[in-house]
Structure 1
Amino acid sequence: MGIHSIRMPDIGEGIAETEIAEWMVSVGQTIREDDPMVAVMTDKATVEIPAPVTGTVLWLAGATGDKIAVGAELIRLEVDGAGNVAQGGAKADAGAGADAGARADAGAGADAKASAQAEARSGASSEAHAEAHSDAQSTAQAEPTSTPKPPADPVPAAKAPRATAPLRAEGEKPIAAPSVRGRARDAGIDLRLVRGSGPGGRITHEDLDAFIATGGLPQVSGPRSDPRVEDIKIIGLRRRIAERMEEANRVPAITIVEEVDATALEDLRARMNAEGKAAKLTLLPFIARALIRALKDHPVINQHYLPEEGIARRFGAVHLGIATQTPNGLMVPVLRHAEAMSLRDTAAELLRLAQAARDGSAKREELSGSTITVTSLGPLGAIATTPILNVPEVAIIGINRLAVRPFWNGTAFEPRKMMNISCSFDHRIIDGWDAAVFVQRLKELLETPALIFVEA
């Protein structure tokens, strides 16, 4: 038998480190070649890494949420044959794997102690996993050998009852399990004073804990204070979003909000949907086509600003990012070469990309490389928003809620279908004048949708 060490592979695009999103194996598990071992997250997407060989897992590099550099050791397997670790290293690795197993065996303390001491002599304690285990064993060894005084019976930690329930009727006996009655008797507690939150008013251990925590004070119905505090580790996509938002917040941005009369656009959409030739069209494909036409007239908006290189990279192609809410958080799938698509092709591809982002099937290349982004909350949208730039892009277009509003036509008010567009720009590169002219052009195209399909 030998030890096979697997390192974090280079998954491309200049990525220096990844975050462990999910372990699909555990220590002691036997896996086969090509079985998925771990899912790692990069700036672009989540990637599964398969096992290159068959073996038994001895050691894992870290926990979910930990970051690991490309080329760093990721996992160790025990395999048939010599493996790829030298004999000396194999012994040390095997010791580390043995320690991992010993932690799960409460009765193997003496063996684990001997293993930790052997590792210290052989120098294998350089591994972070082995160090942590050895430290734990050393702490245990440093404890005094004399028998300590038994501690006083601790007061059970208070847990909030599952629900607020009234005390029972006068003369009604409290309902409780024998173990609860025994605890109450030992503590000198009259169960008639304890409110029960279980079925039929049954008093639970949690109810007894809460009564003890209040010092036996009468429990009153109604709102109660909630002292719970929970620390939640931010990992995976949520941490990536937080980092991206912090980066974008350092960019000086300007936001322009403009009102758009979308009545003609909605009439055109309804007429095309009535033809029943394909899937129903939403507003987004029309907005995408109008945006592509506006970018053709104002190419300065379709670029990336790269301050470290001192350049603005302007694109002929429109790779349209569509901000999409998924169960795991916000993602931006990319409609590539949107300028080369028809209206219905755009609609079909937008639908496919959104579904792929939500069900996790989107490819890495489908989640990167956008040149400008559109974000919309649909019916939940507000009157106006201030979209945050998707750096290094220099513009983002926010679509707000469509609603029927009274509109003055010069002689009278009439109902019109109105919406606001909120457009944010990187003010380091885009001047206010250029931003305003672009927004007015986009407004014109949306209010006169025939212009979207007329070639200049």
Structure 2
Amino acid sequence: MGSYSFKLPDIGEGIAEAEIVAWHVAVGDVVEEDAPLADVMTDKATVEMTSPVAGKVVRIAGEAGEMIAIGSVLAEFEVEGDVAVEPEPAPAVETAPNEAAQVVKPEPNPSPSPLRGEGGERGSAGDSSAAPVSTSAPLPGGEREEKRVLASPAVRQRAKNLGIDLAQVKTAEDGRVRHADLDAFLSYNAGGGYRPAGSARADEQVKVIGLRRRIAENMAAAKRAIPHFTYVEEIDVTKLEELRADLNATRGAKPKLTMLPLLITAICKTIPQFPMINARYDDEAGIVTRSGAVHLGMATQTDGGLMVPVIRDAQDRNVWQLATEIVRLADAARTGKATSAELSGSTLTITSLGPLGGIATTPVINRPEVAIIGPNKVVERPVFRDGQVVAAKLMNLSISCDHRVVDGWDAASYVQALKRLIETPALLFVD
């Protein structure tokens, strides 16, 4: 028998370390070559590391949530025969990009994470002679089967913590297990049977790692560093909704329009008059960069958390092209296929809760941008028009701005310009 040390390869992004998001193996497991080992997260994406050899896992580096340096040992294997030289690691495969735009990097940890293995004391990644300590047992057979079930790393980790076999969880038609599926499973199967409505669930501790931690860091930094203010205005979208219905009725093979492409068109047409809205603020250098193009971030909810894919050069796209790109980017984000380039570089962000809507929102700015726009729910209400009471479709529009860069007058003037355009939608198609 021989031993094989698998070092975390350079993923090609010029990074020094990565975060362990989830382990797919435990000490004592016997794995095949190319079997999933662990998901690690860089500033740009979550990457699945696979085993370069077949053998028994005898040591692993750290727990989920810990940082590991590039080039340090990720896992050690007991293999058949002697392995004299470790082959060059194969490039990692990007599987689920996880960047909420411009994430805040965690404090660097240049030292390799300790390895943990069977028997003895804990040793460092660079000291294979140190006797490791036993920290985990082999995965039960059922958990090995769950690797074949579609699920995000966060869902897998939660299921593992709860002792749930993902293969037993009922899912939607696409077969992907989501947090809501785990909740339903717990509701009906806790304790091996049905749990009556109203009975208390056991407390659950969820480790904040991976994308969830990136989101937490980014939002905390934004609220800590940026003096937010939010302005809300009511907009009559009756004519806009009528126009949207007419366009959909004659669209032919074009994609069905939601309100979002029309709102984005209005945003892009008004931006040239208010360049301070479409900007990024480098507060360390004291420089505001007003962008000539509108690279619009689109806040998108995924199973793992909030992601912000970017519609490049939104000002150059018509409503049909915007509709196509919105669907493509949202699908790429939710299925983990969005690239790093598609998740960075936004100059302004729009965030919408869709049918959930709400009366008004106070969205958090996507740092280092200086503004974020939030359309709210469309409701039909009676209004006075020319002395008559008529039904109108109304929507509140929120905008949060960085008060260091954008004055209240500027934000209000910009929203009023949007309001005029939206309430006279024919102007959306006039150059």
Taking structure 2 as the reference length, the TM-score comes to 0.70
1:62-89: CA deviations, max 9, x gaps?
222222234433223456531249xxxx
Unaligned runs of 5+ in 2: 88-114, 136-190
Give the distance between the partners of 1:227 and 1:262, measured in 2 at CA. 44
* Aligned residue number for residue 271 of structure 1: 246
Counterparts in 2 of 1:256 and 1:227: CA distance versus 1, 3 Å: closer
Q: Is the 8 A contact 1:8 1:70 kept in 2?
A: yes
Corresponding residue to 2:340 among 364, 379, 403: 364
Q: Is the 8 A contact 2:299 2:309 kept in 1?
A: yes
Tell me: higher relative CO, structure 1 or 2? Use CA pairs within 8 A at least 6 residues apart: 2
SS at match of 2:281: strand
Q: Is the 8 A contact 1:2 1:83 kept in 2?
A: no
Matches within 5 A, 1:368-379: 368-379=344-355
TM superposition shift of 1:319: 1.6
Q: Which amino acid aligns with 2:340?
A: R
Give the distance between the partners of 1:402 and 1:261, measured in 2 at CA. 9
Give the distance between the partners of 1:29 and 1:5, measured in 2 at CA. 15
* 1:425 corresponds to 2:426: no
Give the distance between the partners of 1:35 and 1:384, measured in 2 at CA. 48
* 1:411 corresponds to 2:413: no
Corresponding residue to 2:218 among 221, 228, 244: 244
Counterparts in 2 of 1:266 and 1:49: CA distance versus 1, 3 Å: same
* 1:41 corresponds to 2:41: yes
Structure with greater helix share of residues: 1
Between the aligned residues of both structures, percent identity stands at 50
Q: Which amino acid aligns with 2:232?
A: V
* Aligned residue number for residue 5 of structure 1: 5
TM superposition shift of 1:59: 2.0
Q: Is the 8 A contact 1:30 1:56 kept in 2?
A: yes
Give the distance between the partners of 1:78 and 1:336, measured in 2 at CA. 49
Matches within 5 A, 1:278-293: 278-293=254-269
Structure with greater strand share of residues: 2
Give the distance between the partners of 1:21 and 1:415, measured in 2 at CA. 51
Matches within 5 A, 1:146-165: none
Q: Is the 8 A contact 2:296 2:346 kept in 1?
A: yes
Matches within 5 A, 1:20-419: 20-27=20-27, 28-32=29-33, 35-51=35-51, 56-78=56-78, 80-84=82-86, 100=118, 112=119, 116=120, 130=132, 229-250=203-224, 251-277=226-252, 278-419=254-395
Taking structure 1 as the reference length, the TM-score comes to 0.67
TM superposition shift of 1:410: 3.8
Q: Which amino acid aligns with 1:24?
A: H
Q: Alignment RMSD, CA only?
A: 3.3
Q: Which amino acid aligns with 1:422?
A: S
TM superposition shift of 1:205: 12
Q: Is the 8 A contact 2:4 2:83 kept in 1?
A: no
* Aligned residue number for residue 151 of structure 2: none
TM superposition shift of 1:394: 0.6
SS at match of 1:401: strand
SS at match of 1:382: coil
Q: Which amino acid aligns with 2:280?
A: H
SS at match of 1:376: coil
1:343-380: CA deviations, max 9, x gaps?
11110110111122222222222222221111111121
Residues paired across the two proteins, number: 340
Counterparts in 2 of 1:48 and 1:309: CA distance versus 1, 3 Å: farther
Counterparts in 2 of 1:73 and 1:124: CA distance versus 1, 3 Å: closer
User: Which one has the largest radius of gyration?
Assistant: 1
TM superposition shift of 1:13: 5.0
Give the distance between the partners of 2:290 and 2:346, measured in 1 at CA. 12
1:272-311: CA deviations, max 9, x gaps?
1111412211001111111111222222211111112222
Give the distance between the partners of 2:201 and 2:307, measured in 1 at CA. 35
Give the distance between the partners of 1:430 and 1:329, measured in 2 at CA. 29
TM superposition shift of 1:393: 0.9
TM superposition shift of 1:439: 1.4
Unaligned runs of 5+ in 1: 86-95, 101-111, 134-203, 207-220
